[in-house]
Amino acid sequence: MKQSQLFTKTRKEAPRDEESKNAQLLIRAGFIHKEMAGVYDLLPLGMKVIEKIKNIVREEMNAVGGHEFIMSSLQSKDTWTDTNRWDDDIVDVWFKSKLHAGGEIGFGWSHEEPITNMMKNHISSYKDLPVYVYQFQTKMRNELRAKSGIMRGREFLMKDMYSFSIDEKQHEDFYQKTIQAYNRCYNRFGIGDDTFVTFADGGAFTEFSHEFQTITEAGEDEIYINREKNIAINEEVYNPKTLKSLGVTEVELEKVKTAEVGNIFNFGTKKCEEMKLYFNNKDGKPTPVFLGSYGIGITRVMGVIAEKMSDENGLVWPESIAPFKVHLLTFGKNENVFREAENLYHDLKNAGIEVLFDDRDMGPGQKMNDADLIGIPYRMVVSERAAEHGGVEVKKRNSSDVEYISADRVISYLQEGGENK
């Protein structure tokens, strides 16, 4: 992409009413636009990051046997009354609306009930199980707190997966596979070392759950971790009984601030019994299906990474989810230099390397500042000065070191992982 063709512009200042660091940086860099508190639009650069995150998650969900689909965001009141979760005293985040023809609808905050209801059309025998389905979908929750940017929105993108199993053993096998798949996702996002599987309260879902919590000072949660034993406990369920069940003592644990980036719930057979989702077992006996639910906050992951992997100059994207791999800049009015930059731009594209070419008629200072703010992993500068030093100026966004590489070595340099061999 040529930056002159990108309609979005960088900003020196974020909106005055935006308190969160992640949203301030993402707005200033042109990744998102704020509609209102807790509601943000994804702009082209933001979309590219989100699609990278989704593709990682999609690969890992497919690898454990998940099938992608998508359900409606509009939800029927009748679907939720069987489990009492239409009641605002039980679930306090509903957005609801009256229909002109009479009755009410809800705007999806989760999908356990609708997907379970739908599965009545597809599950009738033990031969139909197990079933694992997932979707990427916009959820809407009437959050009381909406001051954490895209880390806690009233409208946000989520990956939610649902497992339908014959019994507890089949469910538990998949549950553990999903934990491993989630860990692989966070490792690939670049936050695996600071993300912990956390024993937690199930809230409006179940009595207990497992959360995936990432250490960040911007987080709204506090957990207790033992890095050596890889144990983490949410403050909500931190008590002597929980410590004993997990085999740790208070002195072994470190208290840290975190943001929840995923969660998984074991519903057992209760919800399927409430909604009358049964299958005939091998003996022909009607048996309730075992249900599990698994979520990853896609936009929340983006926000957490913006918080954690930024510096005083702007965003610092991990290569796996960056909108582009290379930010190519050119300075000055020399036509030969600009032609050389264009040639390099086309060479990078032809080599399958994603590149944002800053071909704008602007000074070096503004271009360099914008490159730091946008946070693409490699900044490359084609200029008269760089030519005097032997080629193209190269700087990694997470380093202060500058290298000069001949133009014919640039592609192999990138293909070798940024090693100047």
Q: DSSP assignment of 164-192, as one string? A: EESSHHHHHHHHHHHHHHHHHHHHHHT-G
CA angle 350, 355, 360 (to 5 degrees): 120
| Contact predicate 350/291, CB 8 Å | no
Quote the CA–CA distance of 352 and 168 in Å, as a whole number.
46
How high is the pLDDT of residue 203?
A: 59
| Contact predicate 380/347, CB 8 Å | no
Going by pLDDT thresholds of 50, 70 and 90, the confidence category of residue 398 is: very high
205 pLDDT more than 70: no
133 pLDDT more than 90: yes
- What sign does the CA torsion over 179, 181, 184, 190 have? negative
pLDDT in tens, 249-303: 999 999 999 999 999 999 999 999 999 999 999 999 999 999 999 999 999 999 9
How high is the pLDDT of residue 204?
A: 47
Indicate whether 366 and 240 sit together in one domain.
no
Nearest to 221 by CA among 135, 295, 288, 152: 152
Indicate whether 281 and 373 sit together in one domain.
no
**Which residues, other chains included, contact 355 with Cβ-Cβ below 8 Å and sequence gap of 6+?**
1, 324, 325, 326, 327, 328, 345, 348, 349
**Which residues, other chains included, contact 190 with Cβ-Cβ below 8 Å and sequence gap of 6+?**
305, 309, 318, 320, 321
Establish if 299 belongs to a structural domain: yes
14 pLDDT more than 90: no
Indicate whether 381 and 237 sit together in one domain.
no
The helix/strand/coil state of 272 is: helix
> What's the structural domain count of the chain?
2
How high is the pLDDT of residue 255?
A: 96
Establish if 83 belongs to a structural domain: yes
Indicate whether 237 and 346 sit together in one domain.
no
Establish if 257 belongs to a structural domain: yes
Establish if 421 belongs to a structural domain: no
CATH label of the domain that carries residue 356 = 3.40.50.800
Quote the CA–CA distance of 391 and 120 in Å, as a whole number.
65
**Phi, psi at 94, each rounded to 5°:** -65, 140
In the Cβ-directed half-sphere of 206, how many Cα atoms lie within 13 Å? 20
Indicate whether 123 and 200 sit together in one domain.
yes
Establish if 318 belongs to a structural domain: no
> What percentage of the chain carries pLDDT values higher than 70?
98
- Which of 252, 282, 311 delimits the end of a domain? 311
Indicate whether 197 and 331 sit together in one domain.
no
Average pLDDT over residues 118-141: 97
DSSP letters along 11-67, please?
A: -SS--TT---HHHHHHHHTTSEEEEETTEEEE-HHHHHHHHHHHHHHHHHHHHTT-E
Question: Which pair of tokens denotes residue 154?
Answer: 């009233």
Average pLDDT over residues 339-364: 95
Going by pLDDT thresholds of 50, 70 and 90, the confidence category of residue 122 is: very high
Name the strand (E) or helix (H) holding 240: helix 240-246
The helix/strand/coil state of 142 is: coil
Q: Residue 291: what residue type? A: L
Quote the CA–CA distance of 224 and 149 in Å, as a whole number.
25
Indicate whether 281 and 337 sit together in one domain.
no
184 pLDDT more than 50: yes
Going by pLDDT thresholds of 50, 70 and 90, the confidence category of residue 202 is: low
Average pLDDT over residues 371-376: 98
Establish if 210 belongs to a structural domain: yes
CATH label of the domain that carries residue 271 = 3.30.930.10
Indicate whether 275 and 328 sit together in one domain.
no
Indicate whether 212 and 135 sit together in one domain.
yes
The residue behind tokens 């002195």 is 251
Quote the CA–CA distance of 141 and 171 in Å, as a whole number.
28
Indicate whether 271 and 352 sit together in one domain.
no
Going by pLDDT thresholds of 50, 70 and 90, the confidence category of residue 16 is: confident
| Contact predicate 274/113, CB 8 Å | no
Establish if 316 belongs to a structural domain: no
Average pLDDT over residues 321-344: 94
Indicate whether 337 and 213 sit together in one domain.
no
**Which residues, other chains included, contact 168 with Cβ-Cβ below 8 Å and sequence gap of 6+?**
268, 290
Establish if 71 belongs to a structural domain: yes
pLDDT in tens, 53-77: 999 999 999 999 999 999 999 999 9
Indicate whether 307 and 345 sit together in one domain.
no
Angle between helix 21-28 and 298-308 (nearest 10)? 90
- Which of 311, 344, 373 delimits the end of a domain? 311
Instruction: Return left, alpha or beta for 134; rule: phi > 0 is left, psi -120 to 50 is alpha, else beta.
Output: beta
Question: Which pair of tokens denotes residue 141?
Answer: 């929750």
Question: Which pair of tokens denotes residue 412?
Answer: 């192999």
- Which of 284, 311, 338 delimits the end of a domain? 311
pLDDT in tens, 307-317: 999 999 999 99
Which residues span the domain enclosing 102? 3-311
